[in-house]
């Protein structure tokens, strides 16, 4: 930007954006008096154009464009070192968390759905969508008020309940496709905006920085630099790898069902079951650690907002109902087993279909920003 342009640049405050940051956990934003203690104690920021001090100013002034198209907001891992040392209690960590939420809302289409996912008013509507779909599928199979489905061995079989090929899979495949399309559109726009503000060095290579970023995500090396909330990287790692484990399990099950033609349930000693169960327990422990850390650090790091807690609760429900569904199935308590499995499906749908708008989207946007930052030599 030339000096000429710089002087002509006029700040157009977006007051709605400021109000939204304040409402989403950045309630103490206006206390910031720009001392930059936050930037100095931050272990994540690059030395050139460091964060989060300037981001605090942009947020106070409602400079939405400068914030949400900035890769730096995702380099922040919300360690809360800044928040703990902030002399004014302005909680920069929480403010950047709120800004990230709004970046997700801004980039993932359709925006009305993004608004609904982040507003507790619409929670029941969002839950009602999968509930009605699944109830309808149960109804057309005659299970809703009729017999309790059992397989040919007389056992509880969740695959019988919503027989996969024709009923359940199309629903989940469409939900997943919808999420993927929304994500692709979102990150394309995000990448273009970032490149406008931080021109990429000529000859820089996206593939290399993607590989480096994946290595970084797997090792959690940057996350481990946090001081105030040290244990968070362990908790996150557990949740992250459990998700990968569950992803592997799902693919494996698809292979059993569609390639080998073996329908569930599978015996507990089946290697796929072992991976699945370990991952489920890992997820439960991981998300419990996440919750504990959040509660323990609330005084120093802030309480978090609806957007943070919704994501945690959804993962909790998925982990608990998944484990309980299996236990009640093995105990042969049919109505309970099917009910719990039903709830499990509703929340899995919630997690995947709404992923581009919930905190789950951090997975995609953070990765994109990290790849960009590496390529732009900001990390």
Partner 1 sequence: MAEQAETSLCRVVVVGGGFSGLTAAVDAAETGAEVVIVEKNPYLGGRVAQLNKYFPKMCPPMCGLEINFRRIKTNPLVTYHVASEIESISGKEGDFTVSIVKKPTFVNDNCVSCNACVDVCPVERANDFNFGLDKTKAIYLPFNQAMPFKYVIDTAVCKGASCAKCVEACKYNAIDLNMKPEKITIKANSVVLATGWNPYDATKMDNLSFGKVKNVITNMMMERLSSVNGPTAGQIKRPSDGKVVNNIAFVQCAGSRDENHLEFCSYICCMASLKQAQYIREQNPDSKVTIYYIDIRTPGKYEQFYWKVKEDANIQFIKGKVAKIEQASGDDVEVEAEDMASLKKIKTTHDMVVLATGMQPSGATLKVQGFKYTDEGFGIEDKGLYVAGCSKNPMDVSKSAQDATGAAMNALTSGQRR
Q: Can residue 362 be called a binding residue for partner 1 (CB under 8 A)?
A: no
What is the nearest approach in angstroms of partner 1 to the Cβ of residue 39?
A: 4
* Cα–Cα dist 280/140, whole Å: 31
DSSP code, position 294: H
* Cα–Cα dist 323/317, whole Å: 10
- Selection from 20, 30, 174, 220 nearest residue 104 by Cα: 20
* Cα–Cα dist 233/245, whole Å: 18
What is the nearest approach in angstroms of partner 1 to the Cβ of residue 49?
A: 5
Q: Which is nearer to partner 1, 51 or 107 (CB)?
A: 51
Q: Give the dihedral sign, CA 46/52/53/54.
A: positive
Interface with partner 1 by CB under 8 A: which range of 35-43, 58-66, 121-129, 365-373? 35-43
Out of 16, 34, 166, 197, point to the residue binding partner 1 (CB under 8 A).
34
Beta bridge partners of 156: 150
Q: Which is nearer to partner 1, 20 or 72 (CB)?
A: 72
Q: Which is nearer to partner 1, 53 or 366 (CB)?
A: 53
What is the nearest approach in angstroms of partner 1 to the Cβ of residue 227?
A: 10
Q: Can residue 41 be called a binding residue for partner 1 (CB under 8 A)?
A: yes
Out of 13, 89, 199, 247, point to the residue binding partner 1 (CB under 8 A).
89
Q: Can residue 236 be called a binding residue for partner 1 (CB under 8 A)?
A: no
Q: Whole-angstrom distance between the N-terminal and C-terminal Cα of the chain? A: 22
* Cα–Cα dist 72/379, whole Å: 9
Is-contact 212 373, C-beta < 8 A? no
Q: Can residue 33 be called a binding residue for partner 1 (CB under 8 A)?
A: yes
What is the nearest approach in angstroms of partner 1 to the Cβ of residue 91?
A: 11
Q: Which residues bind partner 1 (CB under 8 A)?
A: 33-37, 39-41, 45-50, 53-54, 85, 87-89
């Amino acid at each position: 930007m030339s000096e000429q342009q710089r002087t002509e640049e006029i700040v157009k405050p977006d007051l709605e954006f400021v109000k939204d940051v304040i409402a989403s956990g950045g309630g103490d934003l206006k206390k910031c008096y720009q001392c930059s203690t936050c930037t100095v104690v931050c272990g994540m920021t690059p030395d050139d154009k460091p964060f989060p001090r300037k981001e605090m100013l942009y947020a106070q002034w409602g400079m939405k464009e400068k914030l949400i198209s900035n890769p730096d907001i995702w380099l922040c891992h919300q360690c809360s070192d800044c928040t703990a040392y902030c002399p004014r209690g302005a909680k920069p960590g929480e403010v950047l968390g709120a800004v990230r939420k709004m970046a997700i809302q801004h980039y993932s289409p359709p925006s009305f759905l993004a608004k609904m996912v982040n507003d507790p008013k619409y929670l029941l509507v969002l839950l009602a969508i999968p509930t009605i779909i699944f109830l309808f599928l149960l109804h057309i199979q005659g299970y809703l008020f009729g017999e309790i489905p059992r397989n040919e061995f007389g056992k509880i079989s969740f695959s019988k309940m919503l027989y996969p090929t024709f009923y359940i899979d199309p629903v989940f495949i469409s939900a997943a496709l919808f999420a993927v399309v929304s994500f692709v559109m979102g990150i394309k726009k995000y990448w273009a905006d970032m490149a406008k503000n931080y021109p990429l060095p000529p000859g820089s290579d996206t593939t290399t920085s993607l590989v480096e970023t994946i290595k970084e995500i797997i090792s959690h090396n940057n996350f481990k630099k946090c001081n105030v909330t040290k244990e968070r990287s362990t908790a996150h790692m557990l949740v992250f790898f459990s998700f990968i484990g569950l992803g592997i399990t799902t693919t494996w099950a698809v292979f059993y069902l569609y390639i080998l033609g073996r329908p569930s349930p599978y015996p507990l000693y089946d290697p796929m079951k072992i991976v699945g169960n370990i991952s489920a327990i890992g997820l439960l422990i991981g998300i419990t650690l996440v919750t504990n850390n959040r509660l323990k650090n609330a005084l120093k790091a802030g309480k978090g907002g609806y957007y943070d807690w919704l994501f945690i609760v959804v993962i909790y429900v998925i982990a608990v109902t998944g484990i309980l569904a299996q236990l009640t199935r093995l105990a042969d308590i049919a109505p309970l087993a099917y009910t719990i499995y039903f709830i499990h499906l509703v929340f899995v749908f919630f997690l995947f279909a709404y992923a581009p708008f919930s905190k789950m989207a951090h997975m995609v946007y953070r990765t994109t920003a990290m790849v960009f930052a590496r390529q732009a030599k900001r990390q």
